[in-house]
Structure 1
Amino acid sequence: MDTISLLMQGFAVALSPESIMFAVVGAILGTLIGALPGLGPANGVAILIPLAFSLGLSPTSSLILLTSVYAGAMYGGRISSILLNIPGDEPAMMTCLDGYPMALKGKAAEALAISAIASFIGSFIATIGLVILAPILAKFALKFGPSEYFALFALAFATLGGITGKNQFKTLMAAAIGLMIATVGIDISTGVQRYTFNTLELFEGVDFIIAIVGLFAISELLFFLERHAGDGLKQVAINKLKLSAKDIIKVLPASIRGALLGFVSGVLPGAGASLGSFISYTLEKRTSDKGEFGHGDPRGVAAPEAGNNGAASGALVPMLTLGVPGSGTTAVLLAMLISLNISPGPMLFQQNADLVWGVIAAMFVGNLVLLLLNIPMVGIFVKLLSIPPKYLMPIVTLIASVGIYSVSHSALDLYFMVGFGVAGYIFRKVDIPLVPIILGMLLGPEMEKSLRHALVLSDGDWSVLFNSGLSIGLWTVAILGLVLPIVVGPIVRAKMARSKNSTR
């Protein structure tokens, strides 16, 4: 009953004119960002964080705006998948398998509409799961001590291979780089300068917002222009929508199954939207009648879209309740929370109940807004694909740069942003993922604090890190999370590649 009353209070916040405005703006911007191939939700949220700061938005308004951008980008990723056979981001890859064949058959409008409905179902069901599961997990997390929190942070780094889908060694190396950057500044415990080189601007450490914008937005500018420096992309023409109630009913079971599988994938540390999309499509293909999977079956569009949107909402559960992001985008949202002096974790639901429940309620509102916007306005969204990137990406970068400067009014921050951008570009060229770097910067200080606290309480006895059943369980899951991607990851990626190649 407490959960329902808190959710009702959240709706009072989410249904205010200001919150609705930010939800609509975020949904539109997110859909536009998601429609651009390769940009993705993490980049979209990273680009708009400085804008939220420069506008002086309240924490609730900022989070409503950015979570709406997150949801909108997950919706928008399907547009280029269906019309161009180019996934807007990795989770949208499975949508290409049946979405693009539907478009080639003259059913592009139907494919876009089905994907919008499935995305709505996936997000809606997963948000209900968030309402039910998050308070329970938050209460359980209150049992955590410093040893358990250190093990939890180790678990977060051990399962990064699932989030990035990259080489495990490079993922851990990227996390180590992030942890190294996190040590820059004055040690709070001892007052000793660490790697500051007597530079006053480094005494407080490296601002992770600058790092995020540089690593994601600036590197994306360099990378995107390198790949698509010419004209806009030509997409399949959109026909007049002819979607009947029978067509919707046919894809409804696939959407519900995909939503449930996606939510579970999102909650699991390191699994993420890519796995949610893949297992939803695979299960639907194996359990349903053969149909035309791979050749334009609507269920092949609905299942992965419900799966990746369900996983996107599910990834917010560990981020809000434990302070451990379940995806790359939630790592960026975690940075936003920390920069607002809000500590995600079990106490968030007690100390900032209005904020967290207002944001959860806004997710219901935002999903409804996205459904109402995406079907009638999809023609407007796809026009963005015809804008030459050489015009579009500099505008995006200008917005990010102005936002960074307006926060600190420091030219040095702009140099840092460009430096991180160049570094991010180089890292991406050699397949070193960026999310672990950000996660290392975000979780490093708290991980160090937990370790020191545990050792102080035990008089330096390292066995304190393994002296409870909860910490042993977390360490066990961490080891499995480190080993399983090495063993299972290549098998899953090979199956995904074979699935895509077999449908061409």
Structure 2
Amino acid sequence: MDLINNLALGLGVAFTAQNLLYAFVGCLLGTVIGVLPGLGPLATIAMLLPVTYSLPPLAALIMLAGIYYGAQYGGSTTAILVNLPGESSSVVTALDGYQMARKGRAGPALAAAGIGSFIAGTVGTLVLAAFAVPLTAVAFKFGPAEYFSLMVLGLIGAVVLSSGSLLKAIAMIVLGLLIGTIGTDVNSGMERYSFGLPDLSDGIGFLVIAMGIFGFGDIIKNLSDKGTKRELFTKKVENLMPTRKDFKLMLPAVLRGTTLGSMLGILPGGGALLSAFAAYSVEKKIRLQPGEVPLGQGNIRGVAGPESANNAGAQTSFIPMLTLGIPANAVMALMVGAMTIHNIQPGPQVMTSNPELFWGLIASMWIGNLMLVVLNLPLVGIWIKLLTVPYRWLFPAIVMFCAIGVYSTNNNTFDIWMLGLFGIIGYGFVKLGCEPAPLLLGLILGPMMEENLRRALLLSRGEWSVIITRPLSAVLLAAALVMLVVVLLPSVKRKREEAFVED
């Protein structure tokens, strides 16, 4: 009954003209950046954070959340019609979606993506609402030692579940932790690693690093790539409605993808990308029915499963961020930054101190999913025409927007130079095959880990054993150790690497 009352409160808050407007703006922007290759929710949210200074906290969060889950919808459109995933989580959607489009079945493929996304988004929102209250109650029992151990578990989870080399993921986490130590020590008041530069006394701005690595870094990468000829399905897509056979195949895949995405989205390092790959792997293992096309050759299950999973994962990745204050992925780290900008401390106290914001944000996600169905399917032609815009016309505007956003934060030209430096560093990460998302998690969680560890040591009068003598803290650290040991086993390590590689 409490859940119904809470959702009713959230819907009442979300159904205001202002919040509906910003939900629509977020969903529209999310769809556009999902469609356009070279942009992504990380870079876009980083660029728009300064814009949210003047907005009410709830409106800002609703818009940023809409960008995130809206990008999952938009990415499927170009993946199906152009074989060009606009968003990384849509990579596996292109495998079967594009083959369906080539066979003249682009309409059912787009419908499968839209229907699966809406069902998964709705279920993901309900899971978020259902888990919020019990998880928040548990979070109130956490002390500094438990929070430190939880953050260690989160960072280990981000390493284990990230794609690519384990060693590179660990290096990115450590680099993020080190960058987080730059600035003035809160306890002693001494400057650390500032090299005598007054501009570094407060540390390197979170926005500067996020925009540099994900905004400028992506621009440099895209400019360095030679343009390839694309086969565009510019003619009008007709017959959107899937057949009865299509529904029979896709609905179980939607349910499987939704369940898998809802679980994986909660995990540290999880979210849309991991959920989509995992769902496609599951669909490949399911026996084909008589007359069914193999996966990879235009099977509708290969579209419905991953698209459902990535949207469910995108929704449930809000759970640890809203209830525990721990970001599950890099986008959630940016959301933590957005909440901090508006003087909101992420964690269990949000639900009790500001229930309108908490439940209003959750309710807005369901409204946003409805908006996205309307935005994506009827307006396919418009989204495809966006792909005809040359990238050389887009990147100057992105560069200018990033620079203005960073400068407006502190009115400091030093931040512009740092933005350029981190853009070059971000491009270096791309060339070295390092995934930069763990760096952002390390940067956000590092100062929080240090603060909670120091607080725990102060309360225990310097006894380091406090982090293993407290039962819950010890369990969390043991879980982190087990996770790390298991993933280092040769057989598990090999399967982990294969999970992110598709034929």
- Establish whether TM, by shorter chain, passes 0.5: yes
Alpha-carbon contact 1:179-1:440 (below 8 Å) kept: yes
User: What displacement does 1:472 show?
Assistant: 1.7
Query: Residues 340-386 of structure 1, C-alpha deviation per residue, up to 9 Å, x if partnerless?
Result: 22221111211222111111111011110001111111211121222
Identity %: 38
User: Displacement, 1:412?
Assistant: 1.7
The Cα RMSD (Å) is 2.0
Within a 5 Å distance, the mapping from 1:286-435 to structure 2 comes to: 286-287=285-286, 289-290=288-289, 291-292=292-293, 293-435=295-437
Counterpart-to-counterpart distance in 2, 1:248 and 1:398 = 46
For residue 38 of structure 1, report the CA deviation from its aligned partner: 4.6
* Superposed CA offset, 1:294-332 (max 9, x none): 221212210110011111111111111112222222122
- SS at the partner of 2:49? helix
Taking the aligned partners of 1:133 and 1:30, their CA distance within structure 2 comes to: 26
- In 2, Cα distance between the equivalents of 1:272 and 1:163? 10
Task: Tell me the residue number matched to 1:141.
Answer: 139
Equivalent residue pairs, number = 496
What's the secondary structure of 2:465's corresponding residue?
helix
Residue of 105, 125, 128 corresponding to 1:127: 125
Matched AA of 2:22? F
The C-alpha deviation readout for 1:120-171, integer Å capped at 9, x for no partner, is 1111111110000122111111111111111111111111224531212221
CA contact (8 A) 2:159 2:438 kept: no
Counterpart of 1:236, as a letter, is F
The reply to whether residue 52 of structure 1 matches residue 49 of structure 2 is no
Distance 1:423 1:496, change over 3 A: closer
CA distance in 2, matches of 1:171, 1:338: 26
Cα deviation, 1:165-200, whole Å, max 9, x if unaligned, reads: 121222121122111121122111111111223333
Name the structure 1 match of 2:157: 159
Answer with 110-119 or 278-287: which moved more: 278-287
Q: Which amino acid aligns with 1:170?
A: K
- Distance change >3 Å, CA 234–CA 48, structure 1 → 2: farther
Change (3 A) 1:103 1:154: same
Letter in 1 for 2:102: L
Match of 1:6 in 2: 6
Other structure's SS at 1:92 match: helix
Alignment partner, residue 195 of structure 2:
197
Q: Cα deviations across residues 204-228 of structure 1 (Å, max 9, x unaligned)?
A: 2221012111111011110111114
2:254 is matched with 255
Aligned to 1:274: 273
8 Å Cα contact 2:148-2:449 kept in structure 1: yes
Within-5 A mapping of 1:190-269? 190-228=188-226, 230=227, 233-238=230-235, 239-244=237-242, 246=244, 247-248=246-247, 250-269=249-268
Superposed displacement of residue 231, structure 1? 7.7
Q: Which amino acid aligns with 2:275?
A: G
Contact 1:26–1:69 under 8 Å retained in 2? yes
Equivalent in the alignment of 1:116: 114
Output one character per residue of 1:236-282: Cα deviation in whole Å (capped at 9) or x when no partner.
34532341563446522321221111100111222332332233223
Quick check: 239-248 or 101-110, which moved more? 239-248
Alpha-carbon contact 1:23-1:362 (below 8 Å) kept: yes
Q: Secondary structure of the residue that 1:386 maps to in structure 2?
A: coil
SS at match of 1:159: helix
* Paired amino acid for 2:197: T
Which of 150, 171, 188 in structure 1 is aligned with 2:169?
A: 171
Instruction: Tell whether the 8 Å contact from 1:41 to 1:74 is kept in structure 2 after alignment.
Output: no
SS of 1:112's equivalent? helix
**Whole-Å separation in 1 of the counterparts to 2:457 and 2:161:** 31
Residue identity matched to 2:13? V
How far 1:59 moved relative to its partner? 1.1
Consecutive unaligned residues of structure 2, counting only runs of 5 or more, are: none
The more displaced of 57-66 and 477-486 is: 477-486
Summarize the Cα distance change of 1:388–1:483 in structure 2 as closer, same or farther, 3 Å threshold: farther
Q: Distance in 2 between matches of 1:412 and 1:182?
A: 18
The answer on whether the counterparts of 1:163 and 1:328 sit within 8 Å (CA) in structure 2 is no
CA distance in 2, matches of 1:277, 1:401: 33
Could you tell me whether the CA contact under 8 Å between 1:174 and 1:434 is conserved in 2? yes
1:494 aligns with 498
- Contact 1:168–1:485 (Cα < 8 Å) also in 2: no
TM-score (norm 2): 0.94
Shift of 1:389: 1.1
Q: Which moved more, 1:118-127 or 1:337-346?
A: 337-346
Structure 2 counterparts to residues 47-126 of structure 1, below 5 A: 47-53=47-53, 56-126=54-124
Q: What is the TM-score of this pair, normalised by structure 1?
A: 0.93
Q: Match of 2:399, as an amino acid?
A: T
Contact 2:80/2:93 (<8 A) preserved: yes
1:495, 1:181 → 2: CA distance?
Answer: 31
- Measure the CA separation in 2 of the matches of 1:101 and 1:22: 36
**For the residues of structure 2 that align with 1:401 and 1:231, how far apart are their CA atoms?**
29
Paired residue type of 2:281: T
CA distance in 1, matches of 2:38, 2:386: 14
